[in-house]
Amino acid sequence: METLFEIVDRQKLLRPRDYYGRFLVWKNANPEIWRQVEKYALEMAEARQRFGIKAVFERVRWWCAIETNGKYEFRLNNNYTACAVRYLERVYPELRGLFEKRKAQCDE
């Protein structure tokens, strides 16, 4: 039987209080959707123009609703846009400098 401390620790892992932690939980729970975010961000980067991550999020929403006939049921939270940019820039250095960014809660 789990102790109260073990339950609390498990809950912190499942639902972190910080934005970046919550973003990572969402990303890992939605790998197919995240692959589309990466795909569209990299496609937009080929034009080598600065762009916003919200455009990528909207493109993913379109893909899910129209191109897959609603096959995926998910929520793409706009609160995760800043975290998504930081993650993408870390994984794909070629994306650095292409996103417009401001200081965000996930920077903390």
Span 6-19, pLDDT tens digits: 544 454 555 556 77
pLDDT of residue 5: 47
**Considering the entire predicted model, what is its pTM?**
0.73
**Alpha-carbon distance values, 89 to 11, 26, 101 (Å):** 29, 18, 11
Span 60-96, pLDDT tens digits: 888 877 666 666 666 778 888 888 998 999 999 988 8
Position 21 confidence tier, pLDDT thresholds 50, 70, 90: confident
- Cα–Cα distance for residue pair 33/76, rounded to 1 Å: 9
pLDDT of residue 25: 86
- Cα–Cα distance for residue pair 60/76, rounded to 1 Å: 9
